[in-house]
Amino acid sequence: MKRHRPHILVMIALAVVLSTGWHGALRNALTDLRFAWQSRTASGNVVVVAIDAPSIDQIGIWPWPRRLHAELLHRLEAAGAQDVAFDVDFSTPSDPASDEALVTALREVGGSTILPSFKQPTPNGGAVHINRPLKPFSNQSWPAVVNVAIESDGLVRRYPVGEKLGDAVMPSMAVVLAGQDANRRPPFLIDFGIRAASIPSVSYFDVLRGDAATLDKLRDKKIIVGATALELGDRFSVPNGKIVSGPVLQALAAESILQNRMLRWTSDVGMIIGLGLICLVMMYSWRRSAPGVRVTILVAAGAGVELAAALVQASWPLIIDTSLFHIAIIAYLTAIALDEIDFRSLLGRIAESRFHRIAMSLGDGLICTDEDHRITVWNPGASAIFGYMPTEMIGRPFETLCAEPAGGGAKAFAMRDAARQALLVPGGAVVVEFQGRRKNGETFPVEASFSGWQGTDGFQYGAILRDISVRKREAERVRYLAEHDALTGLANRNMLHASLANLIAAAERRSSDVALLVLGLDGFQQINDMLGHSAGDLVLRAVAERLRTKVDSKAVVARLSGDEFAIALDCTKAGEPIVEFAERIARAFEAPLATGARQHRVRISIGVAVYPEGGHNADDLLGNGHLALSKAKMTRRGSHVIFESAIRQELENRLTLESELALAADRGEFELFYQPQVRLVDGSLLGAEALIRWRHPARGYVSPGEFMPVVNTSSLSERIANWVMETACRQARAWELSGNSVRVAINLSPSQLESGDLAHSVAALLAETGLTPSLLELEVTEDILLHDESRVLDMFERIQQLGVRVLFDDFGTGYASLSYLKKFPLDGLKIDRSFVLDLLADSDDAAIVGSTIGLSKQLGLTVVAEGIENRATADFLVSMGCEEGQGYFFGRPMPAEAFERQFLPAELEAVSAA
């Protein structure tokens, strides 16, 4: 099959060319080229009388009157011209005089004139229309066809000897003019080697005007009269890129006849014989001769055949078709080229060149080795990674780049093992990691993708290498950030949860305990509010450092969120009972925390949950630890609380109570009771303290001591406090309108100061209700004054400017009461009932109350004593100088209606203090 492959290729090429008609185009191109090589001169016996542009300019716009053609005939006859052929349409009548003049001229010249007929297609695609000269004209002239065939490439090559018009065959104009007959011969090829420029041509107007020099050129000549002017459009494309007019084309055809150059194709037998000969020569010489000899034979055969065809065409009116012969030669030359080119080697070199370009431009390191694992390719990326130049590494073993393992038992990387894996893995590549060594001795992690292939020089291996030290560091950093708190560096909640799970699993196997301490900073929000979050961050870092110091490595220290931390430890490793451990951690924060130039005193509250009593898994311990912390913040700030099931129940009860309180606010279940405040000297009514009560639909009235602590620490605090103030003000205004000026005292909630501008709210409420400001009294406690001291001070100064009284409630129970008397704008203070109840029996209480009354008088403050339950206590307070008081002795808290019935219709009975 390989031996016959060239000849099969030739046959296929010939079949394709014949089936597609490409050989016709090649044949025409070769013939046209020979015309260009064999230029001939016209005989001069055929002269064109041209209807050219100068004639149109002199005579006028075409078509001309036929009397001019008649006059032209007379001029031509007088000049001695032979036959005259008109390439002009005479198929339609003109004016009668002109037509008659032409008939007369045709008759007088003796019938030597040729008039044209032609076939003309109809515009709608119907039958072909035949244009013939008018009968009077045709009776006095020779008929001739002027149609020529235009080939598929738009050129005119063939000329018909005659055409069948109707029932008769009419000769073509050139045939008639040359004196030939149309005896059913096939069309011939015009010899376009005859130069069109060599055909004599004279101007129609010059003949018509009788120019002697022009007429001398026409003697004994055959004349063709026709349009050559561009604007008349009678133009044809002919070989070698030329365009000629219709009369010139007819003249070329006539010249071809007169010069015996009516060209015809030779028989195909010669072509077939030539193809057979070249095939036999090639079959014989294909394996016996060198490719150069075969190429020489083919080129010589092609040149010889073409030269012979040119000589034949020049000497005889024959054209030899050599197109298929040349196609066969081209096919054989192609077969020789394909047979001689080593495509495998060529493709290998192309692939190698492409691989080299890719390797040199690759950003990663690329190293190739031979089958002995010695380096053969080293790209710039490898130099950037390892620091070696190509000349230093080519020929050295791949293991030169590998570092020895750090551990004694670790196995060193072996290129042989990686190569073996690459051969076994589907796809031929395996990715491994090993420790690389740079030229400077530095070791680093390398990721390498190994592959192997069969090369021209044996089996080869390649590796794409990446320095993954940065990626390793980033992965380590990501892992660290996923497990540690970014601010403090402690473990985060996720890592604490995982550590707790591990501790619990280990403790379960050993039947030991695991403790979780959840720590919360007391008052940390004030540091953020007063000093900013940057100062708060410093405090959190200092807390984290102190916890690390106190715990050492015995436990996991974590930051949960915000100001909450946690410690998880195995109780068997603590070295002390968990209670003592928690107390030691709490005492560690009695010393101030140093953060730059500042020192902060921070207390911590601790909630402790111990496995298994405090929870059976990490989630339970975390949840119960938070519950214990909440209990510690409510009851034992600065200390610890160990989780018990009762704590959960207590907090669940609180949640239930909060939900019921929200419903109570929505349903209007809260009421205000009023407890009278009197002048102690005579018992006359001065005012009333508004006290909230909750009338539960099922339980009846609920003690304020049960629900107010929950209200004051819930989101309902501000809503309920505002309701109390608004309701009390409206009630006081109602009493004022009825003629009873009763001063109403209201207990402020811390939420009212935190949420907005209390002074503005009080002013708006007074304006809305119309209450006289002196009838409103606001009672504040120490925990209210602790909030943002400067802001609270400004707020109460503006409240006093409204005319509203401000009293310090529960005086004596706090830590800094005396300093507040000096700083804040107060109108009075209320002595707490805890000092009044045992006033008669306890000398210490009497001393405190007496000192307070004396100090208040010196500061100009009103003193109100709470908790007066008998006459003796009231009398004793009067003797001490106390002016106002309230308590059960004067009246219990009661609804507004009951208060009105008891105190407003008539003056209170004087209660003598004497």
Question: Containing H/E element for 564?
Answer: strand 564-570
Answer with the residue of higher pLDDT: 224 or 813.
Answer: 224
Q: Are strands 158-159 and 188-189 parallel, antiparallel or unpaired?
A: antiparallel
Judge residue 742's burial from the number of C-beta atoms within 10 Å of its C-beta, 0-12 exposed, 13-18 middle, 19 or more buried.
buried
Q: How far apart are CA 850 and CA 842, in angstroms?
A: 12
Mean pLDDT of the chain: 84
Residue 685: the pLDDT is: 93
Residue type, 365: G
Q: Which residues contact 438 (CB under 8 A, 6 or more apart)?
A: 385, 386, 387, 444
pLDDT, tens digit (0-9, with 9 covering 90-100), for 85-113: 999 989 889 889 999 998 998 898 877 89
- Tally the C-alpha atoms within 13 A of residue 455's C-alpha that lie toward its C-beta: 17
Map tokens 């490898």 to a residue: 382
> Model pTM greater than 0.85?
no
Are the CB atoms for 341 and 368 separated by under 8 Å? no
Q: Buried (b) or exposed (e) across 845-867, using 16+ Cβ within 10 A? A: bbebbbebbeebeeeebbbbbbb
Q: How far apart are CA 528 and CA 791, in angstroms?
A: 16
Helix axes 22-37, 291-315, angle to 10 degrees: 60
Average pLDDT over residues 531-550: 86
Instruction: Output DSSP code: residue 189.
Output: E
Sign of the dihedral defined by the CA atoms of residues 197, 203, 207, 209, in that order: negative
- Bridge partners, residue 606, by sequence: 519, 640
DSSP for 494-545, written as a single string: HHHHHHHHHHHHHHHHHT--EEEEEEEEETHHHHHHHH-HHHHHHHHHHHHH
- Bridge partners, residue 464, by sequence: 366, 449
Q: Which two tokens stand for residue 358?
A: 């890719």
Q: Which two tokens stand for residue 168?
A: 């008769």
Residue 814: the pLDDT is: 58
Residue 206: the pLDDT is: 92
Alpha helices in 362-406 (DSSP H): 380-386, 390-393
Judge residue 892's burial from the number of C-beta atoms within 10 Å of its C-beta, 0-12 exposed, 13-18 middle, 19 or more buried.
exposed
Q: Classify 734 as helix, strand or coil.
A: helix
Look at 188-192, 463-467, 622-626, 753-757 and tell me which has the smallest mean pLDDT. Answer: 753-757
- Bridge partners, residue 443, by sequence: 437
Q: How far apart are CA 538 and CA 873, in angstroms?
A: 54
Are the CB atoms for 50 and 188 separated by under 8 Å? no
Residue 410: the pLDDT is: 61
Residue 361: the pLDDT is: 67
Residue 223: the pLDDT is: 93
Residue type, 218: L
∠ at Cα 830 (829, 833), nearest 5°? 160
Answer with the residue of higher pLDDT: 245 or 644.
Answer: 245
- Bridge partners, residue 242, by sequence: 238
Q: Which residues contact 324 (CB under 8 A, 6 or more apart)?
A: 14, 17, 18, 23, 271, 275
pLDDT, tens digit (0-9, with 9 covering 90-100), for 235-258: 899 988 889 999 999 999 999 889
CA distances from 902 to 676, 688, 726, 865, 870 (A): 10, 13, 23, 22, 19
Judge residue 741's burial from the number of C-beta atoms within 10 Å of its C-beta, 0-12 exposed, 13-18 middle, 19 or more buried.
middle
Residue type, 342: D
Q: Classify 741 as helix, strand or coil.
A: coil
- Of these ranges, 520-529, 651-660, 824-833, the one predicted with the greatest mean pLDDT is 824-833
Map tokens 């989630």 to a residue: 619
Question: Containing H/E element for 465?
Answer: strand 458-467
Answer with the residue of higher pLDDT: 174 or 355.
Answer: 174
Gyration radius of the chain's alpha carbons: 63
Are the CB atoms for 507 and 570 separated by under 8 Å? yes
Question: Where does the pLDDT of residue 778 fall: very low under 50, low under 70, confident under 90, or very high at 90 and above?
Answer: very high
Q: Are strands 365-369 and 222-227 parallel, antiparallel or unpaired?
A: unpaired
∠ at Cα 338 (332, 344), nearest 5°? 170
Average pLDDT over residues 424-453: 80
Q: Which two tokens stand for residue 564?
A: 């909450």
Q: Which two tokens stand for residue 80?
A: 């001695």
Residue 3: the pLDDT is: 65
pLDDT, tens digit (0-9, with 9 covering 90-100), for 406-417: 655 566 677 777
Question: Where does the pLDDT of residue 344 fall: very low under 50, low under 70, confident under 90, or very high at 90 and above?
Answer: low
Phi and psi at residue 188, to the nearest 5°: -115, 165
| CA of residue 332 relative to chain centroid, distance | 56
Report whether the peptide linkage leading into residue 63 is cis, meaning its omega lies within 30 degrees of zero: yes
- Of these ranges, 167-181, 679-693, 895-909, the one predicted with the greatest mean pLDDT is 679-693
Are the CB atoms for 762 and 773 separated by under 8 Å? no
Q: How many residues in total does the chain contain?
A: 914
Residue 912: the pLDDT is: 33
Map tokens 């495998």 to a residue: 344
Beta strands in 379-457 (DSSP E): 429-437, 443-455
Question: Containing H/E element for 177?
Answer: helix 173-177
Q: Classify 325 as helix, strand or coil.
A: helix
Residue 913: the pLDDT is: 33
% of the chain residues with pLDDT over 90: 23
Question: Where does the pLDDT of residue 422 fall: very low under 50, low under 70, confident under 90, or very high at 90 and above?
Answer: low
Edge-first strand listing for the sheet containing 603-611? 555-561, 564-570, 514-522, 603-611, 640-642
Question: Where does the pLDDT of residue 804 fall: very low under 50, low under 70, confident under 90, or very high at 90 and above?
Answer: very high
Average pLDDT over residues 523-543: 81
Instruction: Output DSSP code: residue 714.
Output: S
Q: Buried (b) or exposed (e) across 323-345, using 16+ Cβ within 10 A? A: bbbbbbbbbbbebbeeeeeeeee
Q: Is the model's pLDDT at 907 over the cut of 50?
A: no
Are the CB atoms for 724 and 687 separated by under 8 Å? no
Q: How far apart are CA 805 and CA 694, in angstroms?
A: 27
Residue 765: the pLDDT is: 92
Q: How far apart are CA 770 and CA 529, in angstroms?
A: 37
Q: Is the model's pLDDT at 343 over the cut of 60?
A: no
Q: How far apart are CA 177 and CA 222, in angstroms?
A: 7
| CA of residue 876 relative to chain centroid, distance | 86
Question: Containing H/E element for 834?
Answer: helix 833-836
Answer with the residue of higher pLDDT: 135 or 288.
Answer: 135
CA distances from 454 to 357, 359, 426, 428 (A): 20, 18, 16, 12
Phi and psi at residue 179, to the nearest 5°: 80, 25
Average pLDDT over residues 29-55: 88
Q: Is the model's pLDDT at 900 over the cut of 60?
A: yes
pLDDT, tens digit (0-9, with 9 covering 90-100), for 843-898: 888 888 888 898 888 888 899 999 999 999 999 999 999 999 999 999 999 999 99
Residue 676: the pLDDT is: 95
Answer with the residue of higher pLDDT: 410 or 170.
Answer: 170
Question: Where does the pLDDT of residue 908 fall: very low under 50, low under 70, confident under 90, or very high at 90 and above?
Answer: very low
Q: Are strands 685-696 and 743-747 parallel, antiparallel or unpaired?
A: parallel
State the chain's maximal CA–CA distance in angstroms.
179
- Find, among 355, 198, 282, 269, the residue nearest to 7 by Cα: 282
Phi and psi at residue 444, to the nearest 5°: -160, 155
Q: Is the model's pLDDT at 909 over the cut of 60?
A: no
